[in-house]
Structure 1
Amino acid sequence: MKLPNEPRSPFLLQTLSTILNPTKFLESCAQLYGETFSLRLLGHNSPPIVFFSNPQTIGTIFVTEAAKLELGKITHVFQPLTGPESLIMQDGKRHQRTRQLLMPAMHGELNSYSQLIVELVLQAMENWHPGLRLSIRDWMSEISLQIILRVVFGLNNGERYEQLKQLIEPFLEYVNSPLNSIQFFWTPLQQDLGKWSPWGKFLRQQQQIDALIYAEIESRRQHFDKNVFHGKSTGKDILSLLISAHDENGESMTDSELRDQLLTLLFLGHDTTASALAWAFYWIYSQPSILQKLSNELDTLHPSNLLEITQLPYLTAVCKESLRIYPIALISQPRVVAQTVKIEDYEFEPGAILIPCIYLAHRRPEVYPQPHLFKPERFLNRKFSPYEYLPFGGGSRSCIGMGLSMLEMKLIIATVLSHYELTLLDKRPAKPVRRGITIVPSGECQMVVKAQRR
């Protein structure tokens, strides 16, 4: 089987380069070997892993030849975090069933979440004052976690809310550190050698979080049954909607399924959105002209008109461009060849792993002139195909939380800009650095509050 060009470096060096400096490594590979190239990331005798960035090819993988591709075991790196019942672990009919159960909950109540998101942002800014220094990345992480606990888990301020918040924050910090995240890529490191060992610490932290989640699920089921019996509303948070959801056979999700979906939404929706917002604020405040245009657009609306805020064209363009230049994930979910398939000039046999590379697709100069520059106007002057612009992946495996993530981004940016004037503390260009599965600005995007807007 003829494969696209690949580096001659040992697989271990390729793997470390992918983990430690993925953006630089991917760009280097594209420059040296072309828009389609192979990597050896799973060992000398492992199946080839092929990266694609051509929009037409990406469309072939997502749609035309999708029936010949499957999930395989490539995403099992996430299983210790999300559990085996997670949507991202499933394939075929199981994946389709779970996605159909999740879709109404993730998209049906977005408008009702808007007011809650704005209220949480305003509460978080209550102690802001001129001269205050803050890490926008850390601040966004805290806000994103609060939104997930309220909107997804349906928790209001209380004992279980505080317990989960206190457990989840250090747990995510631990998981996302570069040293600890390597454990998820190499299974030999996943050894429980006691509570002081890296994997043992991870398992014990997870067990504490699981206990609280299962307790909340049991409590919510009792509340659901009681409300149904009395003909009352069962709640609009995502957990409540999932508990009430039934598939075509009338079956609902089990407790373990609910737990795994909640953790999936937590892990893939918390740090990712916070990182995307950190980049957005960096770009907005590093270019005065963009800040001015955005402020002028926001000033045309009353702050309480949340629906119109989410439809503002320049605000939308700023969010889209931020997700283009540094997308939430660098790659779309990998596909494993199940039946021999011909893509471009190559014939791939079963077992080969095909990866649409979002990062490289977003930096093609013929699609995005001067791709390294932040230019929101791109999205005002042209509409891109779902194979040219794909920050949330595509096909049947696109990110199910993209609507909520975009809603968060728009409302948080609009609320902060409408109430405060900020400035970047460090004017030097930010560099992309890995944080868990996301790419964040170097220096944590330190900012200073200048004044309150009236």
Structure 2
Amino acid sequence: MPAIPGTKTPFWRRAPKLILRPLDYFEDHYRRYGPVFQVGEKPLSIYVADPAVIQGIFQADAAQFHIPPQSPGGGLTFLLGDQSLLLLDGARHRRHRRLLMPPFHGDRMRTYGQVIGTLTEQVMASWRPGIAFNVRAAMQEITLRVILKAVFGLGDGDRYDRLRYLLSTLLEGLGTPFSAFFIFFPRLQQDWGPMSPWGKFVRIKAEIDALIYAEIGDRRQHPQPNSSDILSLMISARDEQGEPLSDGELHDELMTLLVAGHETTASALTWALYWAHWLPDVGKRLHQELDTLGQTVDPLSYASLPYLTAVCQETLRIYPVAPTTGIRIVSQPMTVAGYEFSAGSVLFLNIYLVHHREDLYPEPNTFRPERFLERQYSPAEYLPFGGGHRSCIGSAFALMEMKLVLATILRHWQLELPEGLRHPLKPVRRGLTLAPPGNLRLMPLAQRVAQPQALPLG
């Protein structure tokens, strides 16, 4: 069995390029070593961009893998806490996953769909013809309002206003390439006072924690059995032994939903709006499809539109917000599709490289939604939300939110990119994720009125 090719260059020498130019980092290794390659020595990290191997990993027993034990402040515990679904393993991971799944399926989605449309319209109400707006800031405002309403049931009040402000400030502070060094090198997490970068973060995070615990306490004292928000459902949920989630578990899962559900969707929406205006044919076809719905529309009717769905899928393909899935550590030696992985190997399934394979996606650097109308991809070929037993539980919610926000904006406004934008945009590092440049702007020209027509989509 052939050895896995790669490099033994130590992490501290590889890290600057991984942090500051991640796509170049992945592409350079792919060209040099192929779709499965290893880096470092202890621990040995293996990047996988071979769908056959990924399929084998997704189908393997969950006991074949584990994630590293979380130390206080290490990894993402400083942001999410050590009881986040993203950081749990084994039985605790299965328990939390079972308790958190129900709010993201079934009739709940219809309720959230109405909320998403209404909150998008609220943000759009401040737009004025001839006055450009920052796209990322607007999308963050929408997704944050959606999360606070859908997760907490909050739509106004002092606690809502304070959480909005603090979360925006916190995530903006963590949204720079420089901030990624705090994540990759936890020893940099030093509190040198309220004016130091980490000191600011610590104090903002402490106030957010206090607000979340206060909201949990209020809900426990005053239950809302008929409420559809996720916090109410999480508080009432019980495991197989009849036990609820503790306050600490609730807090950490709420932080996970706030961070993962807000930041990632805002980035994806920013990209989608960019592509719809950078490529006029894409925007034209979207408008034509949306106009077939007429004047009065149930927001959830957007979810079934094929070209809108394809645009969102292609947005998540060409520049996935997360370039790799979460860490999987091999618990015992295993062989998958001709590759042998030793115990202790750290596996990263590389979403970006899979999505840019020429054999799967001809002209992979071209934004072409039609590819998703022409063929169906397997979970190992298209994996923006990961896969297997650690797939994102909010994937259906995120995709629905993308479609509803994008459709609502395009139905209501005619927008254009600034004239000075002459070259295609490239992703930049934003903490652990990749995002569009933060200075992208769009100019509202006029409000639109739907023009009813039929659009052949065959």
- TM-score band w.r.t. shorter chain: over 0.9
Which residue of the partner structure matches residue 382 of structure 2?
Answer: 389
With the length of structure 2 as denominator, give the TM-score of the two structures. Answer: 0.93
Q: How much has 1:344 moved relative to structure 2?
A: 4.1
Please show how residues 67-216 of structure 1 align to structure 2 within 5 Å.
Answer: 67-73=63-69, 77-108=75-106, 109-216=108-215
Kindly provide the CA deviation profile for residues 262-313 of structure 1, in whole angstroms up to 9, marking residues without a partner as x.
Answer: 0001111111100011111111111111111110100011442222211100
With the length of structure 1 as denominator, give the TM-score of the two structures. Answer: 0.94
What count of residue pairs does the alignment treat as equivalent?
443
Task: Please say if residues 321 and 435 of structure 2, whose CA atoms lie closer than 8 Å, have aligned partners that are also in contact.
Answer: no
Q: How far, CA to CA, are the matches of 2:248 and 2:200 in structure 1?
A: 22
Q: How much has 1:73 moved relative to structure 2?
A: 3.9
Which residue of the partner structure matches residue 363 of structure 1?
Answer: 356
Q: How much has 1:66 moved relative to structure 2?
A: 4.1
- The residue type paired with residue 14 of structure 1 is R
Kindly provide the CA deviation profile for residues 185-212 of structure 1, in whole angstroms up to 9, marking residues without a partner as x.
Answer: 1122122333233322221111100010
Kindly provide the CA deviation profile for residues 4-44 of structure 1, in whole angstroms up to 9, marking residues without a partner as x.
Answer: 2224644322112111111111011101111111122xxxx
Task: Please say if residues 138 and 444 of structure 1, whose CA atoms lie closer than 8 Å, have aligned partners that are also in contact.
Answer: no
- The residue type paired with residue 176 of structure 2 is S
- The residue type paired with residue 262 of structure 1 is L
- Is the alpha carbon distance of 1:200 and 1:429 closer, same or farther for their aligned partners in structure 2, counting shifts above 3 Å? same
Q: How far, CA to CA, are the matches of 1:364 and 1:66 in structure 2?
A: 27
Deviation larger for 280-289 or 11-20: 11-20
- The residue type paired with residue 436 of structure 1 is G
Which residue of the partner structure matches residue 431 of structure 2?
Answer: 436
Q: How far, CA to CA, are the matches of 2:160 and 2:390 in structure 1?
A: 31
Task: Please say if residues 137 and 274 of structure 1, whose CA atoms lie closer than 8 Å, have aligned partners that are also in contact.
Answer: yes
Q: How much has 1:427 moved relative to structure 2?
A: 3.7
Which residue of the partner structure matches residue 15 of structure 1?
Answer: 15
Task: Please say if residues 129 and 452 of structure 1, whose CA atoms lie closer than 8 Å, have aligned partners that are also in contact.
Answer: no
- The residue type paired with residue 83 of structure 1 is G
Unmatched 5+ residue regions in structure 1? 228-232
Please show how residues 230-245 of structure 1 align to structure 2 within 5 Å.
Answer: 233-245=225-237
Task: Please say if residues 300 and 404 of structure 2, whose CA atoms lie closer than 8 Å, have aligned partners that are also in contact.
Answer: no
Which residue of the partner structure matches residue 456 of structure 2?
Answer: none
Q: How far, CA to CA, are the matches of 1:189 and 1:217 in structure 2?
A: 32
Which residue of the partner structure matches residue 42 of structure 2?
Answer: 46
Please show how residues 297-446 of structure 1 align to structure 2 within 5 Å.
Answer: 297-302=289-294, 303-425=296-418, 426-442=421-437, 444-446=439-441
Q: How far, CA to CA, are the matches of 1:417 and 1:394 in structure 2?
A: 31
Deviation larger for 254-263 or 342-351: 342-351
- The residue type paired with residue 58 of structure 1 is I
- Give secondary structure in 1 for the equivalent of 2:335: strand
- The residue type paired with residue 110 of structure 2 is N
Kindly provide the CA deviation profile for residues 58-113 of structure 1, in whole angstroms up to 9, marking residues without a partner as x.
Answer: 01111135432112248951111100110011111110000000000222411101
Q: How far, CA to CA, are the matches of 2:70 and 2:323 in structure 1?
A: 15
Deviation larger for 107-116 or 52-61: 107-116
Q: How far, CA to CA, are the matches of 1:49 and 1:166 in structure 2?
A: 38
Unmatched 5+ residue regions in structure 2? 450-458
Q: How much has 1:156 moved relative to structure 2?
A: 2.0
Matching of residue 261 in structure 1 with residue 269 in structure 2: no
Q: How much has 1:438 moved relative to structure 2?
A: 2.1
- The residue type paired with residue 42 of structure 2 is S
- The residue type paired with residue 392 of structure 1 is F
Q: How far, CA to CA, are the matches of 2:375 and 2:316 in structure 1?
A: 16
Q: How far, CA to CA, are the matches of 1:278 and 1:98 in structure 2?
A: 31
Q: How far, CA to CA, are the matches of 1:368 and 1:6 in structure 2?
A: 25
Q: How far, CA to CA, are the matches of 1:197 and 1:244 in structure 2?
A: 40
Q: How far, CA to CA, are the matches of 1:395 and 1:403 in structure 2?
A: 15
Task: Please say if residues 286 and 427 of structure 1, whose CA atoms lie closer than 8 Å, have aligned partners that are also in contact.
Answer: no
- The residue type paired with residue 39 of structure 1 is V
- The residue type paired with residue 30 of structure 2 is A
Q: How far, CA to CA, are the matches of 1:82 and 1:14 in structure 2?
A: 26
Task: Please say if residues 74 and 334 of structure 1, whose CA atoms lie closer than 8 Å, have aligned partners that are also in contact.
Answer: no
Q: How much has 1:47 moved relative to structure 2?
A: 1.2
Matching of residue 59 in structure 1 with residue 48 in structure 2: no
- Give secondary structure in 2 for the equivalent of 1:235: coil
The root-mean-square deviation of aligned C-alpha atoms, in Å, is 1.7
Q: How far, CA to CA, are the matches of 2:97 and 2:144 in structure 1?
A: 23
Task: Please say if residues 430 and 443 of structure 1, whose CA atoms lie closer than 8 Å, have aligned partners that are also in contact.
Answer: no
Q: How far, CA to CA, are the matches of 1:94 and 1:29 in structure 2?
A: 35
Q: How far, CA to CA, are the matches of 1:198 and 1:70 in structure 2?
A: 33
Task: Please say if residues 8 and 39 of structure 2, whose CA atoms lie closer than 8 Å, have aligned partners that are also in contact.
Answer: no
Q: How far, CA to CA, are the matches of 2:124 and 2:193 in structure 1?
A: 41
